[in-house]
A and B are shown apart, each in its own frame.
Chain A
Amino acid sequence: MIKKGGQITYEKRGDALVVHVCGEIDHHSAVGVRTGIDDRIMAERPTRVLLELSAVDFMDSSGLGLIMGRFALVKQYGGTLAVLDPSPAVMKIMKLAGMERMVSILKTKVK
């Protein structure tokens, strides 16, 4: 019943790196997700990173820290980061934190 948190897969779309995260993002899973993503980002330094979060069924404030941390990392080398198709759970907490004013949120899936 307890789902494993934060499996990641990657996909190249032109010069963008799409990072698909699924499962639950909390403090426990964020550690592994963070190191995985950062290794990949620093190896490739993509001009655009898209964090695709449609399959994240749980996220708490540790996820907010995770998104902001990756945002800062990508910005450091002159890239941009956006959140792609956040699940309702992700959207709810991002809105609460006012994060849509800092990080752009893109929606492609019609729900």
Chain B
Amino acid sequence: MKNNRVDFSAAVENEMCLILPSLSVNEGMARAAVAAFCAQLNPTALELADIKCAVSEAVTNCIVHAYREEMGEIRIEVKLCEGRLIQIEIRDRGCGIENVKQAREPLFTTDAEGERSGMGFTVMESFCDELRVTSRVGRGTSVTLLKRLHK
């Protein structure tokens, strides 16, 4: 497994930063903007659809879980790296996650009443090559999606 890990030190060729308030209308905006930026690498339609879905999951989690009813800032950083590697970090300063390992399990949700399926992290993980999550309770969460495009 270790050898498959994406190299974080790959040189950045282009980057973009997006800061949005945690309004649900921005979910569509965020995934469309990231997809538009990534389009310069000529990804396949399937790769672009995967990226959009993973970004949507991470942004929705900021709105639904990190900030709940409150308004907060969502920061999205996209880096296009050498070797057709896309690195997307989605960060919030919300409530944080107590147990990241448990949160990443399929079907785990703290919000069953809200009709959540607990599949967000599983979607991010399987639609990307790698998913990194760091979180501190009361401070916020950082989710990094790594996707390597076909040659």
Cβ–Cβ contact A2 & B28, under 8 A: yes
Cβ–Cβ contact B27 & A28, under 8 A: yes
- Chain A interface mostly: helix
List B70-97 residues whose CB lies under 8 Å from chain A.
Answer: none
Chain A residues with a Cβ under 8 A of chain B = 1-3, 5, 24, 26-28, 30-31, 34, 58, 60-62, 64-66, 68-69, 89, 93, 96-97
CA distance A62 to B119 in the complex (A): 9
CA distance A5 to B22 in the complex (A): 18
Cβ–Cβ contact A66 & B115, under 8 A: yes
Q: What are 30 A-B residue pairs whose CB atoms fall within 8 Å in the complex?
A: A1-B32, A2-B32, A3-B28, A5-B28, A24-B28, A26-B27, A27-B27, A27-B60, A27-B64, A28-B24, A28-B25, A31-B24, A34-B115, A58-B52, A60-B57, A60-B120, A61-B57, A61-B116, A61-B117, A61-B120, A62-B60, A62-B116, A65-B114, A65-B116, A66-B115, A89-B49, A93-B53, A96-B122, A96-B126, A97-B119
Interface residue count for B (Cβ, 8 Å)? 26
Q: What 6 pairs across the A-B complex have the smallest Cβ distances?
A: A28-B24, A65-B115, A64-B117, A69-B115, A61-B119, A60-B56
Which chain A residue shows the least CB distance to B116? A65
Cβ–Cβ contact A68 & B117, under 8 A: yes
Cβ–Cβ contact A27 & B123, under 8 A: no
Question: Which residues of B have CB within 8 Å of A62?
Answer: 60, 116
Contact of B28 among A28, A61, A93 (CB under 8 A): A28
Question: Which residues of A have CB within 8 Å of B114?
Answer: 65
Question: Which residues of A have CB within 8 Å of B29?
Answer: 2
